[in-house]
Structure 1
Amino acid sequence: MGLWKPDPSFYPSPRDAMKAPQEELAYVVAFNPDQDNRPDALAVVDTQKGEIVGWTKMPYVGDELHHFGWAACSSALCPYAPHPHIERRHLVIPGIRSSRLYIIDVKADPIHPKIIKVIEAEEIVKKTGYTRPHTVHCGPDGIYISALGDKRGKGPGGIFILDHSTFEIVGKWERDRGPQYLHYDFWWHLGLDTLISSEWGTPDMVEDGLNPEHLLGGRYGKRLHLWDLRSRRHLQALETNEHEQMVLELRPAHDPQKAYGFAGVVINNQDLSGSIWLWCRENEKWTMKKVIHIPAEPADPDQLPPILKGFKSVPPLITDINLSLDDRFLYVSCWGTGEVRQYDVSQPATPKLTATVRLGGIANRTPHPKGGMLGGGPQMIEVSRDGRRVFFTNSLYASWDDQFYPDGIQGWMVKLDADPTGGLILDPEFFIDFSDHQYRAHQIRLAGGDASSDSYWFS
């Protein structure tokens, strides 16, 4: 009888993962903005040639594929509950509009992934009470999936679990949710048995675009929540303030023994600025403070969509962040102003801006050498395991795209080259135009793993 061996793309530590071979493929979810007549798809991108080499079309219309993730990753090397029999083979892709889940096999034919299972919204509601699945993380004991709300389109939102092997729904994750009601992202500190979750809004607050009344009334999410990962109980809530709203993407330190991480906050309802907040553990308590402030930029009202004309400025709209595997560089997507920012966060409480690149943007429409003038701006951002390549796409969410870019968004994906000591250079030849296929591109997953897919057990 042979021994089970872990998948070779599972790594005990971030340092080991950084030594992995360079990715050759990227998987990118692409959605049809006209959700009534053609299904969404998973695109396969050759990252060396900079071109789409494969498509997998979904069988139904109306999904709006959004965030997705691997069914298994390096977290499977859990020292107290190892899973040597699972592998990085399947992608779990939710439809945020349909509340449907697709399980897709990329191993048998990496360029032509195959749908092996579809989980319908009715089953998810029946077994968890949740709808609008959003973020997928491969955990040590199952596949964790966040959901924005319930079947009424209200709250609370939360997390549910799929079995690693059968992809059956296990059930709702929370045992005691305390004051948590709004939901968005989540991740964890495995070495500290702590899960962190963030807040956006319930489906009826976000599905039709940004609601100015909710924003001015301070109704969007303002808190982080700390949980005991094993007991599934709420421990503590941390709040920004009454004006800083939409606490979205979470990026904990990759080193499992480091008790800190970064949260992106989309907008301040007084001055339209965006911000990055640091959470950390001090004296047996978790605390949170603002460490990066990005102001809005003045603009001619004639260049602005109706929702911004009265402000005469463009908010950065921080819609995604990413952290390199060595915990040194934080990347910030400013979807409104059309900017990617790189910060040196080797001293987490005092980040230093090291590089910026501009593409697109509400007012500027900064062109790409191959793509010309661009609609949309840097949005979903992904960093290679070695930290040398940064990929991003430009679509946020169909209704929000149309609200902030009413002239339209053509889907695109680009690449930046990152200097390991700091600095970014746009690759002028890498430009993938998804509008040729009448799609908009959203999240990216790199074959073999990337900076936001895996969590690790060892420093």
Structure 2
Amino acid sequence: MPATDPTFYRTPGAAITAAPEQLAYVAAYDPDGRANDALAVVDCAADSPGYGRVVGWAEMPTAGNELHHFGWNACSSALCHDGHHHDLERRFLLVPGLRSSTTYVFDTKPDPRNPVLAHTIEAGELAAKAGYSRPHTVHCGPGGIFMSALGGANGDDGPGGVALIDHDTFEVLGPWEKDRGEQFFAYDVWWHLQHDTVVTSEWATPSMIENGLNPEDLLGRKFGHHLNFWSMSERTLTQRIDLGDEHQMVLELRPAHDPTKSYGFAGVVISVEDLSASIWLWQKDGDRWTAEKVITIGAEPADADDLPPALKPFGAVPPLVSDIDLSVDDRWLYVSCWGTGELKQYDVSDPSRPQETGSVRLGGIVERRPHPASPDQPLRGGPQMVEISRDGRRVYVTNSLYAAWDEVFYPDGVGAWMAKLDADVTTGGLAADTGFFPHGDDFRGRRVHQVRLQGGDASSDSYCFAD
């Protein structure tokens, strides 16, 4: 059992009542691959003179990595799993390059505003020891750090899967899976610790994403459309659920934070039948898992002249749900509609019957809704990655998806912006914070993707004990 890092919370309730985040770490990258990728550090302390501004900057030693998702070396689940050799701290950020397959490990302890490079996991080590490339999602978990990867060794098309990284040395231990069955595509990975279950989702192979969206792949229903369930202890695939090949790109997974619960939500980017997006509820029924669609978000009609070439034949803007996030108390689900430029809030107290309770519009393919802090500045991109504070009162969004895909839906680019929304956690509702809007030159010409909060956030922790 590790010594208790104060940011390892025994229960979701303990996380909710802990001190609020002071800083946010934001992945920043140059879409042209010329300037070095970086971690931007944003001040989140409401009483700070630097509030809402970039106050720290840590560059990767190279360019062209396309930083995407990243995560902590250790978190609350360390209170009930092995895979470490001495006391752990939520200290290091593992930051993979989705294009370069190189992972940079940054130490935030000496100066949280200026992380320093402590270790590098080269693409060759990931390929040789785990057989993977294109690392994507990072979660601290049982037996090591889980790192999902889209591609096979040396950047080939797969199968993708999960690599296991040592908590302490950051050595690649090998592939997590012992028997993957029919699973081939990879994307997100999460788990239900007390139910001996790992869940993975599906996007595509590297060749399907790296040069932008190929309409033939989409209309040909070639993207991932399954949820995959695994035995955590045996590391074997136990069940696949096909959501239907019209439901293309099953991306973000958000299991309930209450460790006694065996349900969660998955987001689907688009239906090829009507351009809608959807949210699915998975849950356990006896010894099997089920999945049902609980939210459908329709496309919005639009004049073809206002649409990018890829959408002109359809005369509509798809929501393009690219991220979802579940509050630590499991009550509020946030859904980012990157295409229409909307962040939706749902009350999911009854997971099978979500009720929409709030919405904020920023950007969007057609509307380009300005931020209230800059009402004369039309925004490109839309709410994309979503992160929620532990107490659920603050919701952070960034606006870039993936460089090659940004250009498909926003041909003149997306720029760079980050916004904070204040959430009503009593009855529901969202409002943009006019004092928090780092954008443009604040990010030194880089685009911004995922956010991680100092001390943990809604999508980086799983808990060992119930309240």
Indicate the TM-score class for this superposition, using the shorter chain for normalisation: over 0.9
Unaligned runs of 5+ in 2: 46-50
Partner residue of 1:46? 43
1:127 aligns with 2:129: yes
How many residues end up aligned between the 2 structures?
456
Alignment partner of 1:59 out of 61, 67, 71: 61
Structure 2 CA distance for aligned equivalents of residues 83 and 193 of structure 1: 23
1:429 aligns with 2:431: no
Post-superposition shift, 1:80?
Answer: 6.9
The answer to whether the 8 A contact 1:7-1:84 is kept is no
1:286-337 deviation per Cα after TM superposition (whole angstroms, max 9, x unaligned): 0001000000000111111000001000000000000000000000000000
Structure 2 CA distance for aligned equivalents of residues 240 and 204 of structure 1: 23
Change (3 A) 1:313 1:190: same
Partner residue of 1:236? 239
Change (3 A) 1:404 1:451: same
Change (3 A) 1:101 1:54: same
1:174 aligns with 2:177: yes
The answer to whether the 8 A contact 2:84-2:166 is kept is no
Unaligned runs of 5+ in 1: none
The answer to whether the 8 A contact 1:30-1:440 is kept is yes
Partner residue of 1:454? 461
Alignment partner of 1:404 out of 409, 415, 425: 409
Structure 1 CA distance for aligned equivalents of residues 244 and 142 of structure 2: 34
1:444 aligns with 2:451: yes
1:86-122 deviation per Cα after TM superposition (whole angstroms, max 9, x unaligned): 1001000000000000010001110110001111111
Structure 2 CA distance for aligned equivalents of residues 415 and 337 of structure 1: 18
1:416 aligns with 2:414: no
Post-superposition shift, 1:136?
Answer: 0.1
Post-superposition shift, 1:370?
Answer: 2.3
Structure 1 CA distance for aligned equivalents of residues 163 and 2 of structure 2: 28
* Paired-residue identity, %: 59
Partner residue of 2:151? 149
TM-score computed with the length of structure 2 as normaliser:
0.96
Structure 2 CA distance for aligned equivalents of residues 207 and 339 of structure 1: 26
The answer to whether the 8 A contact 1:99-1:132 is kept is yes
The answer to whether the 8 A contact 1:148-1:157 is kept is yes
Post-superposition shift, 1:82?
Answer: 7.8
Post-superposition shift, 1:425?
Answer: 1.1
Letter paired with 1:61: A
Letter paired with 1:430: F
1:327-364 deviation per Cα after TM superposition (whole angstroms, max 9, x unaligned): 00000000000000000001000100000100000000
Post-superposition shift, 1:79?
Answer: 6.1
Aligned 1:172-251 pairs, distance under 5 A: 172-251=175-254
Post-superposition shift, 1:81?
Answer: 7.1
Structure 2 CA distance for aligned equivalents of residues 96 and 82 of structure 1: 26
Post-superposition shift, 1:5?
Answer: 2.8
Letter paired with 1:378: P
Change (3 A) 1:82 1:439: closer
Aligned partner of residue 112 in structure 1, secondary structure: coil
1:349 aligns with 2:349: no
Partner residue of 1:114? 116
Partner residue of 1:7? 5
The answer to whether the 8 A contact 1:412-1:435 is kept is no
